[in-house]
Amino acid sequence: MNPAALDKAANLSRRADAETVLPPRQQIFRALQLTPPESVRCVILGQDPYHTPGVANGLAFSANAGCKVPPSLRNIFKELCADIGCPAPTSPDLTPWAEQGVLLLNTILTVRPGAAGSHADWGWQTVTADLLRVCAELPQPVMFLLWGRHAQKAGLRPPTETKQFLCSSHPSPLGASKASADVPAFLGSRPFSKTNAFLRASGAAEIAWRLP
């Protein structure tokens, strides 16, 4: 990260220390802790954490084990099963993906309990935009899965031989089956098998998408 983004992250971390935020403070940067730059093979970009206490765990779209599967994640699991032919996951915790190099990054890293989007004006976007820039400059092959308009407006550069972008509608109940003139519907877009096909063609290891 560049110095300005690092300073911004440090300032926001101190601000979070003074307020009640979700995910818990020690998990705000969990996506980066589990998936360091040298491990990144895929980036999935979310918007902001779940605002119900006890659900968010610092990974985009992921929820703590034992929680009810959130609606968008339910559609992600539906597409996962249809795409790679695996059984439906029993846990909403996506930690196994993060540990394999899937950077599950929200553009806004904190939220006030009970108030979706409440930290949209904190400035996390400066930090996450720089993180995306770093990912786009990594030497290894990386697939970016951009689900929904918010993710597709992240300002990423055009695809290259080692960086590819797969866009679709958002997996939320309102958007999962809705295609547009620009992008296909999320359901039926086969992001998991297409990511592995790209990695395989690039000489990189595939991701074991199947979850417990």
Per-residue pLDDT reduced to its tens digit, 24-64:
999 999 999 999 999 999 999 999 999 999 999 999 999 99
Half-sphere exposure of 127 (CA within 13 A, CB side): 22
Share of the chain above pLDDT 90, in %: 85
**Average pLDDT of the segment spanning 166-179:** 96
**Average pLDDT of the segment spanning 183-201:** 98
**Average pLDDT of the segment spanning 123-133:** 93
Backbone angles phi, psi at 39, to 5 degrees: -95, -15
Tally Cβ neighbours within 10 Å of residue 32.
18
Crossing angle of helices 71-84 and 191-201, in 10° steps, is: 60
Q: How confident is the model at residue 2 (pLDDT cuts 50, 70, 90)?
A: confident
pLDDT of residue 77: 98
Contacts of 188 (CB under 8 A, 6+ apart): 79, 82
**Average pLDDT of the segment spanning 151-165:** 88
Tokens of 44: 């999935």
- The CA distance from 178 to 13, in Å, is 37
Across the chain, mean pLDDT equals 94
End-to-end CA distance of the chain: 34
pLDDT of residue 199: 98
Q: How confident is the model at residue 100 (pLDDT cuts 50, 70, 90)?
A: very high
Q: How confident is the model at residue 13 (pLDDT cuts 50, 70, 90)?
A: confident
Is pTM beyond 0.85? Reply is yes
pLDDT of residue 193: 98
**Average pLDDT of the segment spanning 101-119:** 95
**How distant, in Å, are the alpha carbons of 86, 158, 182 from that of 163?**
27, 8, 20
Q: How confident is the model at residue 132 (pLDDT cuts 50, 70, 90)?
A: very high
Q: How confident is the model at residue 10 (pLDDT cuts 50, 70, 90)?
A: confident
**Average pLDDT of the segment spanning 158-164:** 92
| Residues involved in catalysis | 48
Share of the chain above pLDDT 70, in %: 100
**Average pLDDT of the segment spanning 81-87:** 97
Q: DSSP for the chain? A: --HHHHHHHHHHHHHHHTS--BS-GGGTTHHHHHS-GGG-SEEEEESS---STTT--SSTT---TTSPPPHHHHHHHHHHHHHH-PPPPS----HHHHTTTEEEEESS--BBTTBTTTTTTS-HHHHHHHHHHHHHT-SS-EEEEEESHHHHTS-PPPP-SSEEEEEE--SSTTTTT---SSS--STT--HHHHHHHHHHHTTPPPP-----
